[in-house]
Structure 1
Amino acid sequence: MNTLTYKGYTARIDFDDRDNSLVGRLLGIQDIIGFHAESVADLHTAFEEAVDDYLEACEKIGKSPEKPVSGKLLLRVPPELHAAALIKAQAVGKSLNQLAIEALSREVRMG
């Protein structure tokens, strides 16, 4: 996946062959923030301007800008999986939270 990151916000980048342009959209928030450009250099500028404009608009209307993530994750899993994960964590001397962090990190290749 092609992404850009700025001020804690990440955008996914795609190519629109209809318009022969690069288009981006902020990920991880409900507000829809998009931007586009015809070159990679212009895309970086458009992305940063979109984030800055979003933050300024939120400030003007007195709204707290959405944050991409808080660090808290609530998962709904089948009870059997929950039990098996808890047993595995206890068996290897870890908390369920530690086990989940390691599993998610492996999945997204962060370490």
Structure 2
Amino acid sequence: MMTYKGYVATYELDTDDEIFYGKLIGINQLVTFEATTAHDLKQAFYDSVDDYLAFCAENNITPDKPFKGSFNVRIDSDLHRRAVMASRGSSLNAFVADAIKEKLGGLYA
């Protein structure tokens, strides 16, 4: 995966055509890019994000934000109760955020 301006992309190599291709993830629009080298792929990704944002600005469209910072989690009632009890007076949101950070360890920056 690659990130730029808060946008995230995945990419693959097509070994038959010897080309890298990728797309932005986490947004509703389809934004793709391709290149023949890894260096060019990175630049194509940057360009695709910049082009998407420019298109949105020119057409008075609010660009999709890749990650809003909120999501629903469905768990059984006993685990829900235990999480509230373990949060020791802090919000359940803060408790879950801390648990995710802990689980991610060094990956969280």
Of all paired residues, the percent bearing the same amino acid is 35
The residue correspondences of 1:1-111 to structure 2 (distance < 5 A) are: 3-90=1-88, 94-109=90-105, 110=108
With the length of structure 2 as denominator, give the TM-score of the two structures. 0.83
Structure 1 residue ranges, 4+ long, deviating more than 4 angstroms after superposition: none
Which residue identity does 2:68 align to in structure 1? Answer: S
> In the TM superposition, what is the alpha-carbon distance from 1:106 to its structure 2 partner?
2.8
With the length of structure 1 as denominator, give the TM-score of the two structures. 0.81
Unaligned runs of 5+ in 1: none
Q: How many residues align?
A: 107
> In the TM superposition, what is the alpha-carbon distance from 1:78 to its structure 2 partner?
2.4
Instruction: Work out the CA distance in 1 between the residues paired with 2:104 and 2:28.
Output: 22
What is the alpha-carbon root mean square deviation over aligned residues? 1.9
Unaligned runs of 5+ in 2: none
Instruction: Work out the CA distance in 1 between the residues paired with 2:67 and 2:76.
Output: 24
Deviations for 1:75-100, whole angstroms, at most 9, x for unmatched residues? Answer: 2322222112111222xx64322221
Which residue identity does 2:20 align to in structure 1? Answer: L
